[in-house]
Structure 1
């Protein structure tokens, strides 16, 4: 019973999700930012700084350079005595940022312990930002202390979704597995949307992840400092723990990073700036820590989405020397297509998916589901039995919503994929271990619950003429679990074979399933109706 109570408390922490701006309906979003253009290109600044619990200097412009459209700022160990006219450290920090970035609009702010995330935008861009939410997940002391963990905020600009994560992971050279585990808990634990099961990394078009990730360089201190003095960044990268972890697909395996062509940002002597000749800050000899790139800026995007990191923008700012860390930042260019406007008198399109094959599956029966915001509901394959980790699935045809009839626009979109094992939900490993699942079992919500074995994303670019695809699959913790292969084509008319997809119920689970509260909410929101009473989001545990 004690274990159940502990899981119940952990599950209830998901009540913390905060909505800052309301969402808007697909097909009717503002096009003010685009005016008469079909595409705009925004610049996004993403920065992180472990402030070392020291008061920052007034001038941050060496790091927070002006002139960008959106600023995503994350800090850790932000705990110092505020200036006399401000009552908290958090307010003092926000005031300092705003003094360095005048004229911007605050889109979102969120705190967890001594960590903060901030989002600012120009006035013109801010007016097109909607559906803003924020949440966090502690990972310190078994998930109850906020000294370590992650914060996240998300928003939409037109039809593009963006998520910003700032994390402070487990410290010390040896704790690689703990850092990997912290990352998995953040990915699984933070929920910013009504999709109650899909992991954080499979909910948004773009995810920018910054923070003191605490991955170290596996060298002795003397050898590391010698390479730093030589500016031998390529040799240092060979010993970087995070790069090794990514190659081994143990954490952050879907994320990209710019070239680490700057000195390791930790552990410096607080208060000592860079040497005027070498440009390097001295490293603290007292604790004997190996200098490391603990502070990072990573990003991932859905496949075939254009986003670029500006060359040379991934760098540190060693002149800000109040902390034992130097701040780090990068700048991205993000093209955005004009939001789609539904043509009510127009027709619709068909998205036909066939020759489906999945690898890396556990034994048992499975089915695959496909969903797109611009489609009429979710479509599923029939059940298929996995043999030697592989399964072949039936054809699926999705139909777009009425009025979504532009093949050119649909080819800029994606389909979200989930593969389910069709078993008794109570027997799954997830039901035995996950705190939310335990709460569901205790409250009788378990009958309608299925935990997918894998999530993926299929790009529709080039599907107008038909194409093959391979989608990598991750589980709810962000670990790589397999792949889904198939063919996809967008057409104006369904084939004779695909018409049957709209005439039969093609999912045959072993246990009955019911419509979930989040699906009810989504359906009613799209129809403009109101739901009396409240629904429980089983991942965030929010009544909605």
Structure 2
């Protein structure tokens, strides 16, 4: 991460964010060595701001789950290793058995992203088992409510009604009772994706395969269950989708580009989908509502499958979006200022100011990080702001942070203020260097380590 990236102004009210959404049923496979195409890292025309990654059917055997509880799962670690050198930080994640949802954002956006809620909704075994269902991350992005849902719906051609029941159940469970969060249908944006398992009706296997071979995908659209269902389901109709201009993504023989050659010879289908819904805006006159908000507009740049990956019987699908919005936040809630020339010889003085509407918590903390952090727990040192408060004047607070764990290095550092009540980073300093020096250990901090 270049230091100049941290100096870019982020307070401009009008902005355009580029969001890359990934959905992939990985069928218990480990990450492949190269995911550049999936993450669009070879596309020089993209300047991405946010990655949203949803996986289904991760390895959820008992030993794997126990290991992933104690350590990062292999997929999360892989994505962090790849994205952190590009200035992306893991903002939030939620897992339910084989379902995993990850959100990464460029560092400069972190003070404008508040994680409001993470939820899991199991729908397998009458709602008691998480092999099917959905996981959700609800956040505020520059002041706008955004809900992100990764789902895995029931399989098989005959179970379309069951898929719709699960779709409705996942949506109904995204309530926020006792929290100052609007109903999910009043959120500015819902991104809903995953292995939805919708199939192609009526057409025989030979016709479907010949249509795919000759790239006549439009011949198959009219019998796609999701397309059919959207015509009669009023709520589902409000969700938009890009054109299916790529081959059906299921079912393939593993380690090949051949559709199912087993005895079952399953009919190919577009099981892996990315949908979105914008909040309807009130409008006077004969039409009661409209979809477009001039201050919050989402447009689809690309909707493609990535056929080069063969570790699973599904091919991954990605959607890249441009989100144009007028920011409802004029500045970060916290402004952090490292004071003076920092060395590893003395405790370091940090000054910070709060906006009038920010309520601090006894569990708020400031972390010291090397530039290139993977997630918020990557601090090299930290300080509890209430316990270590030393002065206050003219709206400026000051705390000292100990230098015991600061490595002797020429790397650059930065400070992040973490709000426990908002579950989010609310302030980031500019990058700076710490002059190497020999130093001695400091007293231990009184509280347990902060957790994200």
Q: TM-score of the superposition, structure 1-length normalised? A: 0.52
* Alignment RMSD: 2.7
Distance 2:90 2:318 in 1: 19
Tell me if the contact between 1:59 and 1:100 (Cα under 8 Å) persists in the aligned partners: no
Aligned-pair CA distance for 1:315: 0.4
- Offset of residue 199 of structure 1: 4.9
Contact 1:154 1:192 in 2 (8 A): no
Specify the alignment match of 1:41 in structure 2.
16
Deviation at 1:286, TM superposition (A): 2.9
Cα displacement string for residues 322-370 of structure 1 (whole angstroms, at most 9, x for unaligned residues):
000000010111112122669xxxxxxxxxxxxxxxxxxxxxxxxxxxx
Please state whether the residue corresponding to 2:116 is helix, strand or coil: strand
SS state of the match for residue 178, structure 1?
A: helix
Query: For residues 6-32 of structure 1, what are the alpha-carbon distances to aligned partners after superposition, in whole Å with 9 as ceiling and x for unaligned?
Result: xxxxxxxxxxxxxxxxxxxxxxxxxx9
Name the SS of the counterpart of 2:170 in structure 1. Answer: helix
Cα distance in 2 for residues equivalent to 1:81 and 1:152: 22
Q: Secondary structure at the match of 2:157?
A: coil
Distance 2:79 2:253 in 1: 24
1:322 corresponds, among 308, 311, 326, to: 311
- The equivalent position to 1:307 in structure 2, one of 297, 302, 310, is 297
Over residues 457-481 of structure 1, what are the superposed CA-to-partner deviations in whole Å (9 max), with x where a residue is unaligned?
xxxxxxxxxxxxxxxxxxxxxxxxx
| Deviations 1:285-316, CA, capped at 9 Å, x for gaps | 432211000000000111223434444x1001
Alignment match, 1:70: 50
Q: 1-side partners of 2:62 and 2:129: how far apart? A: 23
Alignment of 1:257-276 (within 5 A): 257-272=241-256, 274=257
Residue 158 of structure 2: aligned partner? 174
Partner residue, 2:77: 95
2: CA distance between counterparts of 1:186 and 1:237?
26
Alpha-carbon spacing, 1:332–1:192, altered in 2? closer, same or farther (3 Å): farther
Shift of 1:251: 5.7
Distance in structure 1 (CA, Å) of the matches to 2:10 and 2:23: 33
Structure-to-structure mapping, 1:140-539, within 5 angstroms: 140-192=124-176, 194=178, 199-200=183-184, 202-218=185-201, 219-249=203-233, 252-272=236-256, 274=257, 281-302=258-279, 303-305=291-293, 306-311=296-301, 313-339=302-328
Match of 1:50 in 2: 25
Match of 1:106 in 2: 90
Contact 1:307 1:332 in 2 (8 A): no
Measured after TM superposition, the shift of residue 195 of structure 1 is: 6.0
Question: Displacement of 1:130 after TM fit?
Answer: 1.2
Partner of 2:359: none
Matched residues in 1 for 2:308 and 2:268: separation?
17
Deviation at 1:283, TM superposition (A): 3.5
Query: Which string of whole-angstrom CA distances, capped at 9 and with x for unpartnered residues, describes residues 205-228 of structure 1?
Result: 011001000000112211110100
Q: Deviations over 1:250-300 (max 9, x none)?
A: 66221000000000000000111x4xxxxxx43344322110000000001
- CA distance in 2 between counterparts of 1:55 and 1:169 reads 22
Tell me how far apart the structure 2 counterparts of residues 223 and 155 of structure 1 sit (CA, whole Å).
44
The 1:69/1:196 distance shift into structure 2, 3 A limit, reads closer
- 1:360-400 superposed Cα distances (whole Å, 9 cap, x missing partner): xxxxxxxxxxxxxxxxxxxxxxxxxxxxxxxxxxxxxxxxx
Partner of 2:349: none
Q: Which runs of 5+ in 2 are unaligned?
A: 1-6, 42-46, 280-290, 332-452
* Runs of at least 5 residues in structure 1 that lack an aligned partner in the other structure: 1-31, 275-280, 343-544
Corresponding residue SS for 1:307: strand
Q: Secondary structure at the match of 1:111?
A: strand
With normalisation by structure 2, the TM-score equals 0.62
Whole-Å separation in 2 of the counterparts to 1:81 and 1:223:
38
CA–CA distance in structure 1, aligned partners of residues 27 and 226 of structure 2? 22
CA distance, structure 1, for counterparts of residue 218 and residue 74 of structure 2: 39
3-state DSSP of counterpart to 2:236: coil
Looking at structure 2, the residues matched to 90 and 244 of structure 1 have their Cα atoms a distance apart, in angstroms, of 40
Tell me if the contact between 1:210 and 1:296 (Cα under 8 Å) persists in the aligned partners. yes
> What is the distance in 1 between the residues matched to 2:177 and 2:292?
23
Distance 1:198 1:336, change over 3 A: closer
Give 1:481's aligned residue: none
Partners in 1 of 2:112 and 2:322 — Cα distance?
Answer: 17
Q: Within 1, Cα distance between the matches of 2:191 and 2:8?
A: 22
Work out whether residues 317 and 328 of structure 1, in 8 Å CA contact, stay in contact via their aligned partners in 2.
Answer: yes
1:87-107 CA-to-partner distances (Å, cap 9, x unmatched) read 339621101112232331111
Deviation at 1:192, TM superposition (A): 4.6
Q: Specify whether residues 194 and 64 from structure 1 end up closer, same or farther in structure 2 by C-alpha distance, changes over 3 A only.
A: farther
Separation of aligned partners in 2, 1:210 and 1:50? 11
| C-alpha contact (below 8 Å) 1:82/1:92 kept by paired residues | no
1:115 is aligned to: 99
SS in 1 for 2:164: helix
Deviations for 1:154-205, whole angstroms, at most 9, x for unmatched residues? 11122211111000001100001000000010000123574699753x1310
Count of aligned positions: 301
Name the CA shift for 1:117/1:322 in 2 (closer, same or farther; >3 Å). same
- Aligned to 1:44, the other structure's residue is in SS state strand
CA distance in 2, matches of 1:240, 1:40: 37
Distance 1:65 1:38 in 2: 28
Distance (Å, rounded) in 2 between the aligned partners of 1:324 and 1:73: 18
Asked if structure 2 preserves the Cα contact closer than 8 Å seen for 1:62 and 1:317, the reply is yes
